[in-house]
Amino acid sequence: MKGLFKEFKEFAMQGNVLDLAVGVVLGAAFGAIVKSLVDDIIMPLVGILLGGVNISQLSVKVGSAVLKYGSFLQAIINFIIIAFSIFIFVKAINTAANKFRRKEEEQIEEAVDEHLILLTEIRDLLANK
């Protein structure tokens, strides 16, 4: 039992698990912000453009069943905005990471070039003797 707890502790403290936990929490908060943006700003503007229609309240009653397709449309718009926002965020992070990698590669190349110059000088000195 003690070994199992130790394994679980090691698993839980891995960078991947902690990163995932932080990502889930931030994702939930970000989702709430986007939901508010869509519900409170975008959809009322769309409703104004459509003549004062409250899209989230659009529905069709069939017998005793009510199909709330307006709420579904709002959920689709939420998803599209969240997906696009995450795409932009990931793209920005990847761009920054690529710039950082290029700088590191340039520094490595410069270091290699310096070594080549020194080795060339040593070779030339030995050849002249």
| Domain assignments of the chain as residue spans, ordered by start | 2-128
Supply the pLDDT for residue 101.
Answer: 83
Reported as a single tens digit per residue, the pLDDT across 48-71 is 888 888 888 889 999 999 999 988
At the top level of CATH, the class of 2-128 is: mainly alpha
What lies within 8 Å, CB to CB, of 43 at 6+ separation is 54, 55, 56, 74, 77
The pTM of this model reads 0.56
What lies within 8 Å, CB to CB, of 85 at 6+ separation is 30, 34
